Chains A and B, each alone.
Chain A
Amino acid sequence: MGNRGYLRTQEIFAMALIIISIKLTDSTPSLLAQKGQNGFWLIPILSFALILPGFLLMIYLLKKYENKNLIELFESILGQWFGKLIGFILFLFAFFAMTLDSRNYVEQIKLLYFPETPSDLIFIIFFGIVFFGAKKGIEVIGFTSWISFFVLNFFTFLIIVLIWGDIVVERIYPIFGSGLDHLLNQGYQKAAMFSEIFFFLIAYQAAKQTEMFRKGIVIAFTYGFFLIILFYFIYVSVFDYNSIQKLAFPFHDITQYVNFGSFFTNIETIFMIFWLIAAYLKFMILLYAAGWIFGTIFNIQNFDPVLLPLAFLVVTIGLMPFNSIMNELVLRETLFMIMSPFFIFLPFLLWGIALMKGDLRK
């Protein structure tokens, strides 16, 4: 446990990539398609464009204020108490994003692979494993992510190859889906779909050199963004707009649909295993990051013991929404709407204050 500074560019890259790009396998595409119809695959482009300047600005600030992680950066720019307050809001966001997301993943596992098992039990086991993984520390998670990177990529591209024949490109037309104004609006409201990348900034000091962290996270953000666009494009062109709105889990519908010739049918379990590895890693990273944020705010040097109560809270609160539709279409959507302006504007606020204080000139 603990951070000895062994993480290099590739581990940072692999971790950041997993937390961003796993968005393509859950219900986020259906959430976007509710309002965007078949133009929904363009929404992430706008969201990306909105989030990117702020994100780069954060990286720049972190670089300027050496030896500080995200929360410490808030504190030195905004003053201790106000900085901690913003930090706490960030923690709440990370916590609720994790909770609502995890419910979504548990529903996927239950619905598709373990229909008889009670959700509670899947949730407990799932987060039990996530907790043990997170407890191992950021470096173990980083190495695991990097080891899985190639396998996960292989299976991601295997799906693309297998579904290729069913893509009908014309389905992306009418190009703006439900209308350009809807898309722009959604692109702004759902900008928080990239919020995980901000939570991950807490690990700024984890890499051997901070330059490695910057490089890894920027590459991962770009690559993850392209993967998301690619997959959303595939969903639109395979399912068409009226169907995509109805599917809760388009990724799993695709893995159920594809086959290797007529002899090897029903092959979704192969993909399920690797998807599950990615899902575990995602929540390990998020749980660890949430614990880290919490630890920094309350000056807990060794925040390890925080992870267990956090994991417990995630399970308890995650089980509260009445069903997955409510969880996805109401709660998660609301969370996105609250988080989006926060992540778009916060970096500029920080930058402005830092500029006025004259901190950036040294």
Chain B
Amino acid sequence: MNLLKALFFLIPLLLLFGCYDRIELEQQSYVMAIGIDTTDQENQYLFTFEIANPEVGSATAQGGEGEPPAEIVSVIGTDILTATYTANSVVAKKITLDHTKIIVASEEIARSDKFLSVIQSASRSPQIRRAVELVVSKEPAEDFIRNNEPTMEKRPHKFYNFMLSRAAQTGIIPQATLHRFFQITEGDADVFLAVYATTEQSKEKERGYEDNYIAGEIPQIGGSPTQFMGSAVFKEGKMIDILNGEETRFAHILDKTHDMDTFLATIPDPLQPEYRVSYNYAQKNKPQINIDYQKGKTAKIKVDVEYQVEIIGIQSLINYSQIQKYRKILKENITNRLEEKAKQLVKKSQEQYSTDPFYWSLYVRKHFKDVPSYEEADWNKNIYPNAEVEITFKLDKLEFGKMFDDSNVSEVRD
């Protein structure tokens, strides 16, 4: 009898135990993007939550027509989690951050000292994943999220997902997960690159080529107003500069920890500089980075990049593919240009940031036996700014697409 009584109490305990954390899908609002802005009050921030409307854009949903794809709410709070509870004064359902794709910080807050402490609170909660990407917007983050109106990918999670992964593949924006942010910031040696984006057109750059823009400068007609281009440079958890798309690509090329697919770019035609030659840059192997370091001496950093090029367009119609002499000139020209651009970026980082955006501190670490001696040698104050950097690009393959030759203009016009 006693056993029966015990079971009578025990079984409900077992069965109902899970109900503490029971929450229906319907009762949750999934945040896709979080915006962080400064406010007039010290240590109070404006948080903007972009909450996806699951009924829009899915094939099965019946209702929800005429509803917007996302609800955007901004509230003031001290950290992200408490702000979600404040936001519940406006939003009917429990705000869940599990599916957050990006955190947008305005350039203003990113450049302030407070940024690190705001973002730190995100890592303490298990709700925000380390795969969340960090985006810096030129305008206040609230405006960025509100202005962002994708024309095709209406559903916000799809938009951010596709936008960031495609742009990162082409190298114009970096992969900027929170994971990487903490690694580099806490490692306190290199600079971290975050995605730079804007929805506001600034003065368009008059003479730009395909990638030497930063977001907001790209001349554009139609499409969504949001531009993702270039990267925000964070040193010690604080934004100090912006790299344009081209520089971001070089940061990718020289960094072993970044994955980058191929990208298309152009150079001035070596024989007729008023024309341009377009090529497809591909890098099959990661760059080889070797650092020679001895205590008290200048460090020597040697970087070897092996790359492949496929020529896709020659405006001048010069026959580069079959005349060996021209081919050699083109080859040297591309290599020189890449080396020169890479060196410029290295120089800029040495002089301006006094540390590198390539995560090169990793390769000097093997010269130290333990962390105290490594930290004492001081990569970003001592080793890197004074280092001699030698970058060699080596062209591995030069292809010319599926055509042997272009049509001969003089014969066509004849």
* B179 to A: closest C-beta gap in Å: 6
Q: Determine if A253 is an interface residue (Cβ-Cβ < 8 Å).
A: yes
- How many angstroms between the C-alpha atoms of A173 and B293 in the bound complex? 14
> A residues within 8 A CB of B21?
113-117
Evaluate contact between B20 and A178: CB separation under 8 angstroms.
no
| Of the residues A111, A173, A241, A242, contact of B368 by C-beta under 8 Å | A173
Most A C-beta atoms less than 10 A away, residue of B99, B188, B370:
B370
Most A C-beta atoms less than 10 A away, residue of B14, B17, B363, B368:
B17
Evaluate contact between B129 and A176: CB separation under 8 angstroms.
no
> B residues within 8 A CB of A253?
130
| Of the residues A121, A179, A240, contact of B183 by C-beta under 8 Å | A240
> A residues within 8 A CB of B366?
170, 173-175
| Of the residues A116, A128, A168, contact of B20 by C-beta under 8 Å | A116
- How many angstroms between the C-alpha atoms of A3 and B98 in the bound complex? 47
> A residues within 8 A CB of B179?
166, 257
Q: Which B residues from 206 to 265 make CB contacts under 8 A with A? A: 256-257, 259
Q: Determine if A296 is an interface residue (Cβ-Cβ < 8 Å).
A: no
> B residues within 8 A CB of A175?
366, 369
A115-B21, A171-B362, A266-B129 known; A176-B369 Cβ under 8 A:
yes
Of all chain A residues, the one with the shortest Cβ separation from B13 is A125
Q: Determine if B372 is an interface residue (Cβ-Cβ < 8 Å).
A: yes
- How many angstroms between the C-alpha atoms of A7 and B13 in the bound complex? 34
Evaluate contact between A111 and B126: CB separation under 8 angstroms.
yes
Evaluate contact between B372 and A178: CB separation under 8 angstroms.
yes
> B residues within 8 A CB of A168?
256-257, 362
Evaluate contact between A239 and B183: CB separation under 8 angstroms.
yes
Of all chain B residues, the one with the shortest Cβ separation from A169 is B362
> B residues within 8 A CB of A113?
21
Q: Determine if B365 is an interface residue (Cβ-Cβ < 8 Å).
A: yes
> B residues within 8 A CB of A166?
179
Evaluate contact between A174 and B99: CB separation under 8 angstroms.
no
| Of the residues A115, A173, A180, A256, contact of B365 by C-beta under 8 Å | A173
Of all chain B residues, the one with the shortest Cβ separation from A125 is B17
| Of the residues B20, B186, B368, B371, contact of A117 by C-beta under 8 Å | B20
Of all chain B residues, the one with the shortest Cβ separation from A252 is B126
| Of the residues A37, A176, A243, A265, contact of B182 by C-beta under 8 Å | A243
Evaluate contact between A265 and B369: CB separation under 8 angstroms.
no
Evaluate contact between B370 and A179: CB separation under 8 angstroms.
yes
| Of the residues A112, A165, A242, A252, contact of B187 by C-beta under 8 Å | A242
Q: Determine if A177 is an interface residue (Cβ-Cβ < 8 Å).
A: yes
* A118 to B: closest C-beta gap in Å: 8
- How many angstroms between the C-alpha atoms of A102 and B285 in the bound complex? 47
Evaluate contact between A243 and B98: CB separation under 8 angstroms.
no
Evaluate contact between B129 and A178: CB separation under 8 angstroms.
no
* A127 to B: closest C-beta gap in Å: 13
A125-B17, A239-B183 known; A170-B126 Cβ under 8 A:
no
> A residues within 8 A CB of B256?
168
Evaluate contact between A262 and B257: CB separation under 8 angstroms.
no
Evaluate contact between B363 and A170: CB separation under 8 angstroms.
yes
Chain A interface residue count, CB cutoff 8 Å, equals 41
> B residues within 8 A CB of A25?
none
> A residues within 8 A CB of B14?
125, 128
Q: Determine if A39 is an interface residue (Cβ-Cβ < 8 Å).
A: yes
Q: Determine if B85 is an interface residue (Cβ-Cβ < 8 Å).
A: no
| Of the residues B13, B98, B165, B188, contact of A266 by C-beta under 8 Å | B98
* A317 to B: closest C-beta gap in Å: 21
A-B contact count (CB 8 A): 93
Evaluate contact between A240 and B187: CB separation under 8 angstroms.
yes
Q: Determine if A195 is an interface residue (Cβ-Cβ < 8 Å).
A: no
Q: Which B residues from 1 to 37 make CB contacts under 8 A with A? A: 13-14, 17, 20-21
Q: Which B residues from 314 to 331 make CB contacts under 8 A with A? A: none
> A residues within 8 A CB of B363?
170
Evaluate contact between B365 and A174: CB separation under 8 angstroms.
yes
- How many angstroms between the C-alpha atoms of A191 and B183 in the bound complex? 29
Q: Determine if B373 is an interface residue (Cβ-Cβ < 8 Å).
A: yes
- How many angstroms between the C-alpha atoms of A168 and B370 in the bound complex? 18
Evaluate contact between B369 and A180: CB separation under 8 angstroms.
yes
Evaluate contact between B186 and A243: CB separation under 8 angstroms.
yes
Q: Determine if A340 is an interface residue (Cβ-Cβ < 8 Å).
A: no
| Of the residues A118, A178, A257, contact of B370 by C-beta under 8 Å | A178
Q: Determine if A34 is an interface residue (Cβ-Cβ < 8 Å).
A: no
> A residues within 8 A CB of B374?
174
Of all chain A residues, the one with the shortest Cβ separation from B183 is A240
* A34 to B: closest C-beta gap in Å: 13
> B residues within 8 A CB of A239?
183
Q: Determine if A148 is an interface residue (Cβ-Cβ < 8 Å).
A: no
| Of the residues B131, B161, B188, B373, contact of A257 by C-beta under 8 Å | B131
A174-B374, A243-B182 known; A256-B369 Cβ under 8 A:
no
Chain A window 34-48, contacts with chain B (Cβ cutoff 8 Å), 1 for yes, 0 for no: 000111000000000
| Of the residues B17, B98, B131, B371, contact of A241 by C-beta under 8 Å | B371
Of all chain B residues, the one with the shortest Cβ separation from A242 is B186
Evaluate contact between A262 and B129: CB separation under 8 angstroms.
no
* A26 to B: closest C-beta gap in Å: 16
Chain A window 133-175, contacts with chain B (Cβ cutoff 8 Å), 1 for yes, 0 for no: 0000000000000000000000000000000011010110111
Evaluate contact between B129 and A37: CB separation under 8 angstroms.
no
| Of the residues B365, B370, B371, B373, contact of A170 by C-beta under 8 Å | B365
> A residues within 8 A CB of B98?
266
- How many angstroms between the C-alpha atoms of A178 and B373 in the bound complex? 9
* B127 to A: closest C-beta gap in Å: 9
- How many angstroms between the C-alpha atoms of A36 and B187 in the bound complex? 16
Q: Which A residues from 250 to 268 make CB contacts under 8 A with B? A: 252-253, 256-257, 259, 262, 265-266
Chain B interface (Cβ < 8 Å from any Cβ of A): 13-14, 17, 20-21, 98-99, 126, 129-131, 161, 165, 179, 182-183, 186-188, 256-257, 259, 362-363, 365-366, 368-374
Other contacts beyond A117-B21, A125-B13, A266-B99: 13, CB < 8 A: A112-B126, A116-B20, A121-B17, A166-B179, A168-B256, A174-B369, A174-B371, A177-B371, A180-B369, A242-B188, A243-B182, A243-B183, A257-B129
Chain A to chain B: the 3 pairs with minimum beta-carbon distance, closest first: A242-B186, A173-B365, A170-B362
Q: What would 15 A/B residue contacts be, using CB atoms closer than 8 Å?
A: A115-B21, A118-B20, A128-B14, A168-B257, A170-B362, A174-B368, A175-B369, A179-B369, A240-B186, A242-B186, A243-B186, A252-B126, A253-B130, A265-B131, A266-B129
